[in-house]
Amino acid sequence: MLSAAGPPSPHGAAPSPQRAAGSLRAGLQRACVPLPDEQGGLLPGLVVGDTSRLPPTVEEDFLATGMTHLNAVSGSNVAIVVGAVLLLARWARAGPWLAAGLCGLALVGFVILVRPSPSVVRAATMGAIGLAALAAGRPRAALPALSAGVAVLVLVDPELAGDAGFALSVLATGGLLLLAPRWRDGLRRRGVPAGLAEALAVPAAAQLACAPVVAGISGTVSLVAVPANLLAVPAIAPATVLGVLAAAVSPLWPAGAEFLAWLASWPAWWLVTVARHGARLPAGTLPWPGGATGALLLTGLTVALLVATRHPVVRRLVAVVVVAVVAGTLPVRLAAPGWPPAGWVVAACAVGQGDTVVLPVAAGRAVVVDAGPDPGAADGCLRRLGVREVALLVISHFHVDHTGGVAGVFRNRPVGAVLTPQWPEPAAGRGLVLAEAAAHSVDVLAGAAGWRYREGGVEFTVIGPSRPLRGTRSDPNNNSLMLLATVSGVRILLAGDAETEEQRALLDDTAPGGLRAEVLKVAHHGSAYQDPAFLDAVRPRIALVPVGTGNTYGHPNPAVLGRLARGGARVLRTDTEGDVAAVLGGAGLGVVTRGTPPGRQP
């Protein structure tokens, strides 16, 4: 715990180069103000690593398509800036040493501009090695220089040896040095124009080199990363160079900076468009073993493929196999669901340690139950589901893991009304919800047992709390609004964060069989505070557990999951499955997770 003893006091001004760099960064931000949010937020991130204006939806799309490296300063940014200087130096017929000196000045200036954090210094070192060797007229020295740079950095900071970001920087640079030239030359021998060959070889080499580490970290292999990055390549350099120029001229010529930023917004628009469409492709990622096992497995497959394809006969055989596999799996991929899946009746989104559950009312319109802990996560959940209008936002109770994302629910979509519990605590969460509703002139309604709602294919009744409960282990949790909904004939019980006391009270006040439901949103992230008799009374076929990865609360409780499974429920956790949905199709009630084909039956 930190306790402030007084206001901060300055201990001296920053060095003049840092003050100048801060002025340039602020000038770039001002130049981007007139731009649309997506381009205006991406450009500073692309140029100086400032993502403060980047919409969360864009950030999510970049992550899904393997383009997230564009949101941070990396070796590619350094290579683009230094490469532009090198090109100008060669155009001016400068000698190799003069060109190398100019590139060095540009490198130092760029590092100061983007702030010399350890990650930036590492990226600058990795990204500059190849260019420095080429500028010095010794291209064969690039690989030894890379090895020396890695050795020096690890000696200075031994923790880098276990740093994933450092590993990715080294691997990407190694791929550019070892694989890209051979692939580029091979494409040129087959008649591909020089510029196109370079554009194809560079991102493919970097992606292939980094793929094992990325797979080990994420537990997935992206099928869209390489094509998305190939499509992005033509826009990266123009956006970066124009953005740097906009920052450079901003103190002396603000209008010129705005014009340059406007020019840069067009390639930035292309990057956003590629990420948006790539993120929506069905089956864009494949599950893969995580950790060292997955990384080593993909490394072995990659090395075997590279060695095998050096032989013409094997290369032709691999080409035939790849074509056959693509042709054979294409119908499956085309049939694989996008998101949301057809026939969905309820979805629980992966929003971290919190709840956001969605019931579809009509195309693009839904009832949303709870807003999760983060606005970006809540907005991303609804955007993935195609929710453009919220008919009703229900807040089960006012804890921050159910209210913190309320601004994301309201983001760029109308909300019909907000239904809240009568228990007013915690006050901070209640104030957050009321303020957001007031800012959008949306009515706030008080929910209680017996409150009913019906629209389209959705109807529900508030069944709990059946009576106010005080003096419990957690009064806010035990006064959660509990809903019994019917969507397309499927009964769904949403239990909020109700704990043992509210569950027992509801069980006592409900007729036998009255709590039966085919789908249960398990209360309180599957905590241990569940009444076994309540779970037995619901006896769901599908149990949805919204829960955050690596949470420190012990959620979900293994004994609770075991009881649900023994009762015949298929248990789906958002920390392991991502977004999950119950779907109603020709085969009856089933489940779909993001990227999982339909047809799994509970």
**402 located within any domain:** yes
Same domain? 71 vs 176: yes
**313 located within any domain:** no
Look at residue 12 in the predicted model and tell me its pLDDT: 63
Same domain? 390 vs 456: yes
Which element (helix H / strand E) includes 41? Answer: helix 37-48
**305 located within any domain:** no
Same domain? 274 vs 377: no
Rg (CA), the chain: 28
**82 located within any domain:** yes
Task: Check which CATH number belongs to the domain holding 458 and give it.
Answer: 3.60.15.10
Cα angle 394, 596, 410 (rounded to 5 degrees) comes to: 25
Look at residue 334 in the predicted model and tell me its pLDDT: 36
Q: Does residue 183 contact residue 136 with C-beta atoms inside 8 Å?
A: no
Structure tokens belonging to residue 155: 């000696």
* DSSP assignment letter at 364: T
Would you call the peptide bond into 341 cis, given omega within 30 degrees of 0 as the criterion?
A: no
Same domain? 562 vs 459: yes
Structure tokens belonging to residue 382: 């609804």
Picking from 265, 297, 329, the residue at the C-terminal end of a domain is: 297
Look at residue 599 in the predicted model and tell me its pLDDT: 37
Structure tokens belonging to residue 323: 């074509």
CA distance 277 to 464: 42
Look at residue 461 in the predicted model and tell me its pLDDT: 96
Picking from 297, 316, 333, the residue at the C-terminal end of a domain is: 297
Same domain? 378 vs 503: yes
Same domain? 47 vs 117: yes
Same domain? 280 vs 354: no
**330 located within any domain:** no
* DSSP assignment letter at 55: -
Same domain? 532 vs 446: yes
Domain range for 229: 16-297
Same domain? 256 vs 355: no
Look at residue 524 in the predicted model and tell me its pLDDT: 92
Look at residue 310 in the predicted model and tell me its pLDDT: 64
Picking from 267, 297, 327, the residue at the C-terminal end of a domain is: 297
Same domain? 443 vs 561: yes
**317 located within any domain:** no
Same domain? 288 vs 348: no
Which element (helix H / strand E) includes 573? Answer: strand 570-573
Look at residue 122 in the predicted model and tell me its pLDDT: 63
* DSSP assignment letter at 484: E
Instruction: Give which of 394, 557, 593 is closest to 484, Cα–Cα.
Output: 394
Q: Please give the tally of structural domains in the chain.
A: 2
Place of tokens 């994933």: 164
Same domain? 286 vs 230: yes
**455 located within any domain:** yes
**163 located within any domain:** yes
Q: Which residues of the chain carry a pLDDT beneath 50? A: 1, 3, 322-337, 595-602
What sections of 72-193 are H helices per DSSP? Answer: 75-91, 96-114, 118-135, 142-156, 164-178, 180-189
Kindly report whether the global pTM for this prediction surpasses the value 0.75.
no
